[in-house]
């Protein structure tokens, strides 16, 4: 019934968040406050170690979506806080239609009230808001200056918007203040676009360049961990490009400015791409830029910015051979440059040359432990495409001999299975991993790759034989998970040992882990027919750890 009222259900939330975030969201149901229902969305605050704002759509043809200002949510993920708000909405589903109707009525009432106000009343209202809201006042001042063609005032207001000092309480803009600053930068970008639309594109070009300069100087003193300031600065750069496209500034002067942006000391927060300006620069501008890039390259042959500038220009000219020659001057020891050359050649329809360069990269990097995996994938994909499965196996085998990782083992297995030779390859691969395990190869970061590989194969019996004295706790747990039904007694011993080790750590992650271990132990007792023994053990554990209320809550949720 809940879906009928809000347009989504628990299954939708679980699919959006994933099992882990959905499970963690269950623990935040009591932390949701300030739930406010709008016409098509709800907002709320979720309290934890910090308080986060959440906005959740109520569903539609495309299903529900959510936004949260926590770090995980800022990356575009449907986080545990979104889950908590969604579940809270489902709990109150029957009241949602009434609240949505009330929200529409409020919006309609506000619109009707504003429409009915006289000019003087509207002016009074705006003045009242300006007096209380500094940011609104700045936005309106900028619009007023633009409307009056007062470019000096527009510049002053623009610089005020992108000045970070009002947000820098301790000499720099902290993480919490970055979104507010980013909003003002975005407003400046909007004002630049408005100037261009009003027929003053040339002035917009000049103002955008000054804004980009100020942003570059300020960016190193901003904690922009979520990239919100960078996004707003990119909007300023887009406004500059748009204005250039309309105003058509002197191409050589524009070329000099762009080169200065790439080679300058200030941080290029706008991340300008020279290729975007190719049409505006035209032949003369591109020639001027090529000359400047060549001079810069001679002065600093190993400079990253100088190399990047030359690469982008050569790419803009469409000369594939010149680009390949440029890349070939400084080949990356891990093969990344060989791959770039191959991709450029393939894009130009020169597939045979592309494969030759990629194969050269494999040979040049054959002894390297760390090689760009994309290069190996590229070569293997091309071999597979032309019916050379044995060559795919050969490449994967060679990499496995050097890397000795689970990923390399998995890739060798996939290739050998496709070539119908996995049985022989597996024997040799496991022998090599077994020798590594004896030498404690790679043990610094956990148990041996041998155990991971056997577990990944689903070969629990072989893993049991190799695990004693070698496996780490993570591997023992995986082994127990695979063996609840076939070796319940041995798996039970593993679970109980790991529970003992997890008694000391605290926090949600540790408590969730304890719950998962106990669920495994319960399954083993059921397979052994000793459910009463598990009940006694669990009662004793709960009594021992009863002061950890969050743990008790999590165990209750899992039915333990």
Q: What is the mean pLDDT of residues 436-452?
A: 75
Cβ atoms of residues 173 and 164 within 8 Å: yes
Question: Following CA atoms 480, 481, 485, 486 in sequence, which dihedral angle do they give, to the nearest 10 degrees?
Answer: -50
Residue in the block written with tokens 């496709």: 418
Q: What is the mean pLDDT of residues 334-353?
A: 93
Q: Is 434 exposed, middle or buried (0-12, 13-18, 19+ CB in 10 A)?
A: middle
Residue in the block written with tokens 């490009």: 241
Tell me the C-alpha distance between 322 and 313, whole Å. 11
Q: What is the pLDDT of residue 148?
A: 64
Other beta carbons within 10 Å of 62? 7
CA 284 to chain centre: 40
Of 153-157, 183-187, 362-366, 411-415, the range with the highest mean pLDDT is 411-415
Question: Backbone phi, then psi, for 253, in 5-degree steps?
Answer: -65, -40
Mean confidence (pLDDT) of the chain: 87
Question: Backbone phi, then psi, for 164, in 5-degree steps?
Answer: -80, -10
Residue in the block written with tokens 């004793």: 540
Residue in the block written with tokens 């969305």: 41
Neighbour-count burial for 232-255, b at 16+ CB within 10 Å, e otherwise = bbbbbbbbbbbbbebbebebbebb
Q: Which of 30-44, 51-65, 343-357, 359-373 has the lowest mean pLDDT?
A: 51-65
Confidence band for 380, pLDDT divided at 50, 70 and 90: very high
Residue 76 has pLDDT above 80, yes or no: no
Residue 443 has pLDDT above 60, yes or no: no
HEC string of 67-120 equals EECCHHHHCCCCCHHHHHHHHHHHHCHHHHHHHHHHHHHHHHHHHHHHHHCCHH
Cβ atoms of residues 53 and 43 within 8 Å: yes
Q: What is the pLDDT of residue 4?
A: 58
User: What's the token pair of residue 350?
Assistant: 């020169």
pLDDT in tens, 77-117: 889 999 999 998 888 888 888 888 888 888 888 889 989 98
Three-state SS for 357?
helix
Cβ atoms of residues 214 and 163 within 8 Å: yes
Tell me the C-alpha distance between 161 and 155, whole Å. 10
> What is the DSSP-derived secondary structure letter of residue 319?
-
Beta bridge partners of residue 47, listed in sequence order: 51
Q: Which residue has the higher pLDDT, 62 or 450?
A: 450
User: What's the token pair of residue 70?
Assistant: 């926590």
Confidence band for 67, pLDDT divided at 50, 70 and 90: confident
Give the neighbor-by-neighbor strand order of the sheet with 66-68.
Answer: 32-37, 41-47, 51-57, 66-68
Confidence band for 154, pLDDT divided at 50, 70 and 90: confident
Of 150-154, 163-167, 230-234, 342-346, the range with the highest mean pLDDT is 342-346
Residue 163 has pLDDT above 60, yes or no: yes
Cβ atoms of residues 223 and 175 within 8 Å: yes
pLDDT in tens, 522-553: 999 999 999 999 999 999 999 999 888 889 99
Residue 442 has pLDDT above 50, yes or no: no
Cβ atoms of residues 57 and 74 within 8 Å: no
């Amino acid at each position: 019934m809940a879906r009928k009222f809000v347009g989504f259900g628990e299954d939708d939330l679980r699919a959006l968040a994933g099992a882990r975030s959905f499970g963690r969201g269950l623990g935040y149901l009591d932390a949701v406050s300030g739930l406010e229902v709008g016409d098509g969305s709800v907002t709320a605050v979720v309290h934890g170690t910090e308080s986060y704002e959440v906005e959740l759509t109520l569903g539609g043809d495309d299903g529900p979506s959510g936004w949260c200002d926590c770090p995980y949510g800022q990356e575009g993920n449907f986080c545990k806080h979104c889950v908590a708000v969604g579940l809270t909405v489902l709990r109150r589903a029957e009241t949602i239609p009434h609240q949505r109707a009330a929200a529409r009525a409020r919006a309609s009432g506000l619109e009707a009230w504003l429409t009915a106000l006289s000019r003087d009343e509207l002016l009074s209202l705006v003045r009242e808001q300006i007096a209380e809201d500094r940011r609104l006042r700045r936005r309106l001042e900028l619009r007023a200056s633009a409307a009056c063609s007062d470019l000096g005032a527009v510049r002053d207001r623009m610089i005020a918007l992108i000045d970070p000092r009002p947000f820098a309480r301790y000499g720099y803009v902290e993480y919490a203040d970055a979104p507010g600053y980013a909003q003002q930068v975005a407003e400046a970008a909007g004002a630049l676009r408005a100037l261009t639309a009003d027929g003053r594109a040339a002035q917009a070009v000049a103002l955008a360049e000054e804004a980009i300069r100020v942003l570059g100087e300020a960016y190193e003193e901003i904690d922009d961990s979520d990239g919100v300031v960078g996004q707003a600065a990119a909007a300023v750069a887009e406004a500059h490009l748009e204005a250039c496209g309309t105003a058509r500034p002197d191409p050589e002067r524009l070329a000099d400015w762009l080169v200065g942006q790439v080679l300058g000391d200030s941080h290029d927060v706008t991340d300008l791409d020279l290729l975007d300006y190719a049409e505006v620069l035209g032949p003369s501008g591109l020639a001027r830029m090529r000359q400047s890039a060549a001079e810069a390259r001679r002065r600093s042959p190993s400079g990253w910015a100088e190399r990047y500038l030359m690469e982008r220009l050569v790419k803009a000219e469409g000369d594939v051979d010149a680009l390949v020659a440029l890349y070939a001057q400084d080949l990356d020891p891990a093969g990344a440059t060989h791959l770039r050359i191959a991709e450029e050649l393939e894009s130009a329809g020169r597939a045979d040359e592309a494969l030759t360069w990629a194969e050269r990269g494999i040979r040049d990097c054959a002894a390297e432990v760390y090689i760009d995996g994309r290069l190996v994938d590229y070569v293997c994909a091309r071999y597979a495409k032309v019916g050379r499965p044995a060559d795919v196996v050969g490449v994967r085998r060679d990499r496995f001999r050097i890397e000795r990782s689970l990923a390399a083992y998995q890739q060798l297995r996939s290739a050998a299975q496709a070539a119908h030779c996995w049985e022989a390859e597996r024997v040799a691969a496991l022998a090599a991993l077994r020798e590594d395990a004896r030498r404690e190869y790679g043990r610094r970061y956990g148990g041996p790759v041998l155990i991971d590989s056997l577990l990944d194969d689903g070969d629990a019996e072989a893993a049991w034989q190799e695990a004693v004295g070698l496996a780490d706790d993570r591997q023992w747990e995986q082994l127990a998970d695979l063996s609840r039904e076939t070796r319940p007694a041995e798996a039970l011993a593993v679970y109980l040992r790991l529970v003992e080790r997890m008694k000391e750590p605290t926090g949600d992650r540790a408590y969730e882990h304890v719950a998962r271990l106990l669920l495994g132990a319960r399954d083993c007792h059921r397979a052994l027919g000793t459910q009463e023994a598990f009940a006694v053990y669990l009662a004793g554990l709960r009594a021992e750890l009863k002061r950890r209320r969050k743990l008790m809550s999590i165990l209750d949720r899992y039915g333990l």
